[in-house]
Amino acid sequence: MTGFQGDGIHLSAPELIALKPRCNALSLPMHSPAASSLAGAYRSRFRGRGVDYVESRHYLPGDDIRNMDWRVTARTGKAHTKIFQEERERPVLVVVDASPSLYFGTRTRLKSVAAGQLAAAVAWAAVRRGDRIGAFLFTSDDHRELRPTGGRRGAMRVIQGLVDWLNPETAQQGQKPLSVSLERVRHAVRPGSLVLIISDFFNLDEQCHRHLSRLRQHNDVIGCQVMDPAEEFLPAGRFPISDGDNSAMLDTHQEQSRRQFDRMSSEHGEIPRRMFHRHKCGWMVLKTSDDPVEVLGRELRLLVGRRG
């Protein structure tokens, strides 16, 4: 990486701002170009709130109540909502799951720093394409929502939010199921958005299937798993480990311990990947030893290529 670099433990605004020039060439997944350059960068294949009425369908949880088709609702006795085709800027949302396990790293940077750098790169790529960028930031018992905003102002709001939120000194203990966060996102996101979910996915649960499926119905979704190399492979030795409250000694000389660790490591990578693929979502993995901008660029090219 070039430009201003942080200490790998704390995120700083200067290091995230310094990523901007390197993100100009990033290409976020997009749809057919708009017929008019004045209407926005994309014509959405998703049916959201816009200018041209398409049809009415049954109301779904999370639909905008302002689009209710009261005439059809009264005639059928079942709630219906109006569907529109629109040309507009596309909202891009980075969902950052700042669970306690994110504050870990043995190579180059903490997972929290890698996650923040990845989110900032997405923000710069979005505003470069004329999209609006927003964020949902979650901890074990709190959340913060940054509504999508266009231009440099939108990117800077997200960057400041990341710096404030991903702070190891104020990290909260406890673990909340990821499904709780996804449910909030599902009810708040505008149809036609691009949603990137950045997490280490240690708090994945079965309820995530339902929320991912609903979220994917009207949006593009990409899962981004942040991992440290030590979570995939441990050398033989004795290692002190702690969850912040309790401590123990892990002896990886023992074959049983190594087999158990290898099994857990394999499941940790495969279970979320299979879940996202099942719901036709994109998927990428970022390691703390990787360059986030390079990984994002490579994975987005592969994703766009598969769609093409």
Mean pLDDT of 113-142: 94
Q: Which domains does the chain have, with CATH numbers?
A: 13-31+88-307 (3.40.50.410), 49-85 (no CATH)
Residues 6+ apart with CB under 8 A from 13: 159, 160, 163
> In terms of DSSP bridges, do strands 143-150 and 132-138 run parallel, antiparallel, or are they unpaired?
antiparallel
Give the pLDDT of residue 1.
52
Give the pLDDT of residue 53.
64
pLDDT cut 70: percent of the chain above it: 86
Mean pLDDT of 48-60: 65
Give the pLDDT of residue 255.
77
> In terms of DSSP bridges, do strands 247-251 and 194-199 run parallel, antiparallel, or are they unpaired?
unpaired
Give the pLDDT of residue 307.
60
Give the pLDDT of residue 35.
33
- Residue 173 gets which letter from DSSP? P
| pLDDT band at 305; cut points 50, 70, 90 | low
Which parts of the chain are beta strand (E)?
A: 42-43, 52-58, 80-85, 87-88, 91-97, 132-138, 143-150, 194-199, 220-227, 238-242, 247-251, 282-287
Backbone angles phi, psi at 91, to 5 degrees: -70, 135
Query: What is the distance in angstroms between the CA of the first residue and the CA of the last residue of the chain?
Result: 30
Residues 6+ apart with CB under 8 A from 284: 222, 223, 224, 225, 295, 296, 299, 303
| pLDDT band at 146; cut points 50, 70, 90 | very high
Provide the token pair at 144.
């913060």
Contact 26, 20 (CB under 8 A): no
Mean pLDDT of 228-247: 80
Q: Which residue carries 């990137």 as its tokens?
A: 196
| pLDDT band at 88; cut points 50, 70, 90 | low
Q: Is the dihedral of CA 256, 259, 265, 266 positive or negative?
A: negative
Mean pLDDT of 121-141: 93
Instruction: Please indicate whether residue 169 or residue 84 has the higher confidence score (pLDDT).
Output: 169
151: left (phi over 0), alpha (psi -120 to 50) or beta: left
- Side chain identity at residue 230, one-letter code: A
pLDDT surpasses 80 at 87: no
pLDDT surpasses 70 at 3: no
Give the pLDDT of residue 38.
33
Which of 98, 100, 129, 117 minimizes the C-alpha distance to 16? 117
> Rounded CA gap, 115 and 295, in Å?
12
Three-class DSSP category at 62: coil
